[in-house]
Amino acid sequence: MYSMSPRAGKLLNDEEVMEKYVKDDEWGLLTSIDLRKCDPEKIRSKEVISQFAIDLCEYIKMKRFGDPIVVRFGPIPKVEGYSLAQLIETSMISGHFAEDTDRAFIDVFSCREYPPKKTAEFCQNYFGAEEMEYSVVFRT
| Structural domain that includes position 79 | 27-139
Residues sharing a CB contact under 8 Å with residue 29, sequence separation 6 or more, in sequence order = 17, 21, 109, 110, 111, 112, 113, 114, 116, 136, 137, 138, 139
Q: Is residue 91 part of a domain?
A: yes
Q: How many domains does the chain have?
A: 1
Asked if the model's pLDDT at residue 3 lies above 80, the reply is no
Could you read off the pLDDT of 76-111 as tens digits, one per residue? 888 899 999 999 999 999 999 999 999 999 999 999
Q: Where residue 53 sits, what CATH number does that domain have?
A: 3.60.90.10
The H or E element spanning position 116 is helix 116-126
Identify whether 2 is part of a domain: no
CA–CA gap between residue 100 and residue 36 (Å, rounded): 11
Asked whether residue 45 is assigned to any structural domain, the reply reads: yes
Q: Is residue 83 part of a domain?
A: yes
Kindly state the average pLDDT of the residues 112-132. 97
pTM of the model: 0.91
Where does 21-110 show beta strands of DSSP type E? 28-36, 69-73, 81-88, 91-98, 103-110
- Residue 68 in any domain: the answer is yes
